[in-house]
Amino acid sequence: MKKSFAPRHLIPVEQTWDLSPLIDSIEAYNAGIAQIEKDALLFNQKYTGNIIDSSSVVQVLTDYEKLNEQFVPYGAYASLSLEVDQTNDEAQMRASKFGSIASKIGSQLSFVHSDLSALSTEILEEAATIAPQFENYIKEIIKKKAHQLHPEVEKTLAALSSSLDAPYELYNTTKLVDMKFDNFTANGESFPLNYSLFEGDWELESDVNIRRAAFEAFSNKLREYQHTTAKTYNTHVTTEKTLSDLRGYESVTDYLLFDQEVDRTLYNRQIDLITKELAPHMRRYAKLLQKVHGLEKMTFADLKIPLDPEFEPMITVEESKNYIENALKVMGDDYMEMIEKSYSERWIDFAQNEGKSTGAFCSSPYGFHPYILISWTSRMNEVFVLAHELGHAGHFVNAHKKQSLFNSRPSTYFIEAPSTMNEMLMANYLLTTAEDTRFKRWVTASIISRTYYHNFVTHLLEAAYQRKVYDKVDAGESVNANVLNRLKREVLEDFWGDAVEITEGAELTWMRQPHYYMGLYPYTYSAGLTISTQVSQRILNEGQPAVEDWLKVLQAGGTKTPVELAQMAGVDITTDEPLLNTIAYIGGLIDQLEVLTEELDSVIIDK
């Protein structure tokens, strides 16, 4: 029987990350925050009303960037210390207080954008010529001129930023603090349940009775909180609608796509083409799962099970390092040094503990090494998850080396390309080392169930659902639990057709992801994986030249648009071709799974 999670203070320190490089003591944290508040006030007094020409533009941006750099470790520390234990009162209060301080400072500094926007384009362009390191930042200022509000309105919105971000915090509190799961019963035995256990273990459980009982119990608990969660989400999307209207955008979607530097064509293509072209392949995969597991019917609760659970290796954290290094060594010595440090210097929080955020992420504070959160289950598929997060880490280690703070972060459209690239490199490595039929089938199935299902199905269906929500919001409507449940069920039924029974509780999956509070983030997973699939094939076929191109892309940070970054790597995302090629690649993998399964079945029959 799986155990419930221990409280954070009982977790061995070697399983946790080390935040001391950010802040080495609470005293240092408090003193540093106090100093930043003073520096922000002095900055305000020095520059308010004094940004009048190109030279003063350069000076204010120089000091503004330094001030932002100064702020980085404190924000990261407040956030990361809470992410590992949402039940920690001290971490809760610190994060909340930081949000208030950040809002206050943001209000004091809001004049920078307002005063820059008030200058002529000629003066701004002259400043960019004098200081090319600010060229991209200044271009953004010029682009946003049409959407800039009165300085006092901008100041007020900045002061309210903590309140405007409150729905995301409320969602996490509801999910990770208030929501308590009872044990569930299956096969006459009692089993513990929480978010991490469900998503990390029970969804993957090979025993159909345990798996479906866990799904039912998990869904029943979600249902108890559906109305509160829906009200929280409605508050978030209506706030976005208000802001988009205030700033003069035609729709919430246009408002959210603006900073991603892509238009609706690229956004809609990801959703529409995958929904249409990938669905038939994934339905075949669902039927294959049903056949191999001998299920009378295939339900939504069965979609995450491994094709061959008895074969899947269980591995330790130490063993994961060998897989990671072997798969990613093609990226070169510097990249390998980063991998070594991530383990030896405790960049990664592996622990499973009460109150820890679900899923996995990588935080990359500028000027410091990245931090990776994961709840290690010892399942082999966690190696793909860890490779994914190390892809984010490798991206920003490279970008931060070459770019200033303001130039370091690319559009979120591109942000998942480096992460999914590492998953593809892991897949390539495992496939090339697969010597027997069963291992090859396991590897191929893992690529489908982990890399593509997660990024091209789970997150894509989030995006399709999210688009329906924003269409309603743009039409002046609000959403509640009943509406959200209906929209989610429509998306699931449209994609899976009659291949999968969308059982009661499946419609509640909109409650499980924080991505809906991060703008149009869900669709970018498939966008990034489209790019990385094509580039990984280049690396497989061309070797070092393709690797060098990719490293240059990582080092470019935010100095290029998503289209330009993809072009640097040899991919043209302005056309359907990369996406259609990727979907065809997925279909080919499922073809291989069907053939390999027939081969294994024939061997068993012969025996």
pLDDT at 604: 57
Order of strands across the sheet that contains 371-373 = 348-349, 371-373, 361-363
Got the DSSP string for 412-423?
Answer: TTTTTHHHHHHH
- The answer to whether the beta carbons of residues 85 and 355 sit under 8 Å apart is yes
- Token pair of 370, please? 């990245």
Structural domain 8-158, CATH architecture? Up-down Bundle (1.20)
Question: Kind of pairing, strands 184-186 and 371-373?
Answer: unpaired
- Token pair of 586, please? 């997925």
pLDDT at 603: 63
Residues 6+ positions from 404 with CB-CB distance below 8 Å: 65, 133
In the chain, the amino acid numbered 586 is: I
pLDDT per position as a tens digit, 54-86: 999 999 999 999 999 999 999 999 999 999 999
Question: Kind of pairing, strands 348-349 and 361-363?
Answer: unpaired
Q: How many residues does the chain have?
A: 607
pLDDT at 1: 46
pLDDT at 126: 97
* Intrachain domains 8-158 and 285-303+314-345+379-606 with the same fold: no
| Helix and strand element counts for the chain (H, E) | 26, 5
Cα(199)–Cα(220) distance, integer angstroms: 15
pLDDT per position as a tens digit, 241-297: 999 999 999 999 999 999 999 999 999 999 999 999 999 999 999 999 999 999 999
- Token pair of 465, please? 């659902």
Residues 6+ positions from 261 with CB-CB distance below 8 Å: 411, 413, 561, 562
Q: Which of 475, 473, 468 is nearest to 492 (CA)?
A: 468
Single pTM value for the model: 0.89
- Token pair of 220, please? 């029943």
Q: Domains of the chain: which residue ranges? A: 8-158, 285-303+314-345+379-606
pLDDT per position as a tens digit, 354-363: 999 888 999 9
pLDDT at 58: 97
Question: Kind of pairing, strands 348-349 and 371-373?
Answer: parallel
Task: Give 10-residue mean pLDDT values along the chain (607 residues).
Answer: 77 96 95 96 96 97 97 96 94 93 93 95 97 96 94 91 90 90 96 90 94 97 97 96 95 95 94 96 97 96 92 89 96 97 97 90 97 92 93 98 96 94 92 86 90 90 96 95 97 97 96 91 93 94 95 97 96 95 95 94 62
Residue ranges of the alpha helices (H) in 261-311?
Answer: 264-273, 279-293
285-303+314-345+379-606 is a CATH 1.10.286.10 domain: no
Q: Torsion over CA of 242, 243, 247 and 249, rounded to 10 degrees?
A: -70
Residues 6+ positions from 360 with CB-CB distance below 8 Å: 372, 373, 374, 375, 385, 386, 388, 389
Quote the DSSP letter at residue 451: I
pLDDT at 458: 93
